[in-house]
Amino acid sequence: MGMAKIVVIDDETSILETIDMFLNEKGHTVFKADTGEKGWRLYRRHCPEIAVIDIRLPDCSGFDLLEMIQAEAHFTKVIMITAFQDMETTITAMKKGAFDYVHKPLDADVFEGVIQRALNMLKADRETPAIDAMPLAPNPQVIIGRSEQMRKIFKMIGILCQNRATVLIQGETGTGKELIARVIHKNSFFAAEPFVTLDCSAVVDTLMESDLFGHEKGAFTGATQRKPGKIELAGNGTLFLDEIGELPPNLQSKLLGFIQRREYTIVGGQHPLPSHCRIIAATNRDLFAMVGREAFREDLYYRLKVVSIQVPPLKARLEDIEDLVNHFLQKINLELKTSVFKLQSGVLDRLMQYPWAGNVRELENVLVEAVVRARGGIILRDEMEPILSMKIAIPTQGLDTYSLAHMEQQHIQFTLNQLGWNRSEAARRLEISLPTLRAKIKKYGLTPPR
Q: Does pTM surpass 0.75?
A: no
Average pLDDT over residues 174-192: 92
Is the domain of 212 the same as that of 188?
yes
Is the domain of 327 the same as that of 306?
no
Q: Is the pLDDT of residue 291 over 50?
A: yes
Is the domain of 297 the same as that of 323?
no
Is the domain of 404 the same as that of 257?
no
Per-residue pLDDT at 281: 97
Is the domain of 275 the same as that of 371?
no
Choose the weakest-confidence range: 146-150, 415-419, 440-444. 415-419
Is the domain of 25 the same as that of 97?
yes
Is the domain of 274 the same as that of 344?
no
Choose the weakest-confidence range: 192-206, 258-272, 306-320. 192-206
Residue 161 is part of which domain span?
Answer: 148-311
Answer whether residue 261 is part of any domain.
yes
Report yes or no: 96 and 67 within 8 Å, Cβ to Cβ: yes
Answer whether residue 94 is part of any domain.
yes
Q: To the nearest whole percent, how much of the chain has pLDDT over 90?
A: 46
Q: Confidence band (pLDDT; 50, 70, 90) for 87?
A: confident
Q: Is the pLDDT of residue 121 over 80?
A: yes
Instruction: Give Cβ neighbours of residue 13 (< 8 Å, ≥ 6 apart).
Output: 34
Answer whether residue 203 is part of any domain.
yes
Please give the single-letter amino acid code of residue 422: N
Is the domain of 178 the same as that of 300?
yes
Burial class (CB within 10 angstroms; exposed 0-12, middle 13-18, buried 19+) of 370? buried
CATH of residue 90? 3.40.50.2300
Q: Enumerate long-range contacts of 288-294, CB under 8 Å, 24 or more apart.
A: 290/245
With b for 16 or more beta-carbon neighbours within 10 A and e for fewer, the 105-141 pattern comes to: eeeebbbbbbbbbbbbbbebbeebeeeeeeeeebeee
Answer whether residue 286 is part of any domain.
yes
Is the domain of 389 the same as that of 338?
yes
CATH of residue 293? 3.40.50.300
Q: Which of 311, 331, 363 is the last residue of a domain?
A: 311
Instruction: List the alpha helices (DSSP H) in 26-107.
Output: 36-46, 62-71, 87-95
Q: What sign has the CA pseudo-torsion 168, 171, 173, 175? A: negative
Beta bridge partners of 81: 54, 102
Q: Which of 96, 127, 158 is the last residue of a domain?
A: 127
Is the domain of 25 the same as that of 116?
yes
Per-residue pLDDT at 395: 38
Q: Which of 311, 339, 370 is the last residue of a domain?
A: 311
Average pLDDT over residues 417-428: 83
Count of structural domains within the chain? 3
Report yes or no: 285 and 304 within 8 Å, Cβ to Cβ: no
Per-residue pLDDT at 217: 87
Is the domain of 335 the same as that of 277?
no
Backbone angles phi, psi at 241, to 5 degrees: -100, 100
Per-residue pLDDT at 396: 35
